[in-house]
Structure 1
């Protein structure tokens, strides 16, 4: 069996069992993907995928085990390549970071500015997506680290390291009544249309949970994937927003105002996610420490060591 075949079956699953989409993502032909899967199944002696009318509908029971092993093999090969690059190139290399809009726009600029100055021979690549997307990138070895909020789905191959919390504020047009109420309450906020983060973001879950726990059902008039889009429509007067405080800049957002709402809504925790078997290059550890100084080399290495020990059943 070939490493290429393992990559093919993993990509098929990532593309929701669509062979044509997998072939396109792999920059090859659909018949070529089908042929390699058939060769792998012939060598294994059983089918990896269930099929109906020549269409893949999902993995078989033994196929699930093959996929688990394939994922480990592919990510281990990525770690091995990183080790080779580290030994051969020293401080040179590429660091691919999967991150959400809020982190890329408001948290990382100063970190990246300093990192580029201190590591001029390292190329940084930012790949944006929602929290699920960026963790999937890391899980598939398409990114080295992910920086974002929590996810709905658990990814057992990843280690999540908490970095810091982001409190929330109510953001509205400067002339909006919500900015003038003597006491900011959930009832007062729920009295106005709300512009919120998309449901794939923990900011939405936490805000809605606070309302639900208080027996309130606010009207969500618009959902968006990032704070800048939310603020555009807040500025038009379509509603108010409950956004992470870091996304409000008094200078840039001169038409808007904000009030601290940290006493009403739980903050979002930002995590750095890594593959448990990743090879930690020196500049990767430097970047992680720049994002969250408490995540020293010893802390990160210890977390990965503990995760790998747990996977192998070691004490």
Structure 2
């Protein structure tokens, strides 16, 4: 048994049992992948995959049990490498954060600035994607941690912590009829075309639920992945916008008016998510603590490794 065999088991599942894709990912041949699988099955004395001819269709019961062990072994293998880097080059390396455009654009700039002052030799990679893509990066070990509002708390492989809470806000062009009202309700809002976030992004679910609860069908004429696009089309007169409140910047959005709407939509909470058992380097801990002072190194370690009684600092 060797690490290459374990990697092949994991990648075979991740690539939906397509051995050609497994071979490409691991920079080897398909025949080599097949041989490694057969050798491991011979060594263990059990079949790990359900087969139809030469095709792999799924995992057998022992294969399912083995996969869980493989994930733990490969995670700890990576943790050992991270541990070595932590002590050999504590202020050098790469920190990879998976997040959405909204968080990267509006929530993180101040934190990133402070972090880079403290760790100028750490390469910071911000990967922007959907919440689902962020989850996938975390589970596959392609990001150190993720930041988003949706999805992160729905996966047992991940542990989440609250980052900050926020509300949606209504924006409209200057002199729009809504700007004349003292207090807006959802019925007022539904009288006009609406531009807001795409499904699955930046609290869109809470917007939909608010209208559904009020038994109102909004006229959503356009949806986008980020607030900059929404603001652009609101300025062009396509409709009124519903965006995350922190995305409105008075000095930049001079052609738009921010309307009080905290009473219309529920509070959203953006979360920081990490893979359970994942070893975070010291500078990663410091970045998270810059985001939320309550998330200290000690608190994170206890949450990530609850079975351990002591830790290496």
Pair in the same fold by TM > 0.5: yes
User: Matched residue pairs, number?
Assistant: 308
For residues 34 and 144 of structure 2, what CA distance do their matches in structure 1 show?
A: 29
Q: Within 1, Cα distance between the matches of 2:173 and 2:25?
A: 43
Task: Name the CA shift for 1:125/1:192 in 2 (closer, same or farther; >3 Å).
Answer: same
What is the CA–CA distance in structure 1 between the aligned matches of 2:251 and 2:235, rounded to whole Å? Answer: 14
The reply to whether residue 167 of structure 1 matches residue 181 of structure 2 is: no
Once the two structures are overlaid, the 10-residue window that deviates more, 7-16 or 291-300, is: 7-16
Offset, 1:217: 1.9
When the two structures are superposed, what TM-score results if normalisation uses the length of structure 1? 0.88
What TM-score does the superposition give when structure 2 sets the normalisation length?
Answer: 0.88
Residue 176 of structure 1, CA deviation: 3.0
d(CA) in 1 for partners of 2:198 and 2:53?
Answer: 37
Which position in structure 2 is the counterpart of 1:195?
195
Task: State the 1:166 CA deviation.
Answer: 1.8
Task: Provide the rounded CA distance (Å) in 2 between the counterparts of 1:105 and 1:223.
Answer: 18
1:1-315 paired onto structure 2 within 5 Å: 1-52=1-52, 54-151=54-151, 154-201=154-201, 203-306=203-306, 308=307
Q: In the aligned structure 1, how far is the partner of 2:193 from the partner of 2:22?
A: 41
Q: Distance in 2 between matches of 1:181 and 1:30?
A: 66
Whether contact under 8 Å (2:147, 2:270) holds in the other structure is: yes
Structure 2's unaligned 5+ residue stretches are 309-313
Where does the alignment leave 5 or more consecutive residues of structure 1 unmatched?
310-315
Q: 1:283 to 1:152 in 2, by over 3 A?
A: closer
Task: Give the CA deviation at 1:234.
Answer: 2.5
Judge conservation of contact 1:173–1:256 (CA < 8 Å) in 2: yes
Structure 1: how far apart are the matches of 2:212 and 2:165? 22
> What RMSD, in angstroms, separates the aligned Cα atoms of the two structures?
2.3
SS in 1 for 2:284: helix
Q: Which residue of 2 aligns with 1:312?
A: none
Deviation at 1:304, TM superposition (A): 2.2
Deviation at 1:153, TM superposition (A): 7.2
Query: Residues 158 and 152 (structure 1 numbering): CA distance in 2 closer, same or farther, change over 3 Å?
Result: closer
Deviation at 1:53, TM superposition (A): 5.5
Cα distance between partner residues in 2 of 1:176 and 1:30: 62
Give CA-to-partner distance per residue, 1:150-194, whole Å, 9 cap, x none: 307732222111111121101233343233333211111222222
Distance 1:8 1:200, change over 3 A: farther
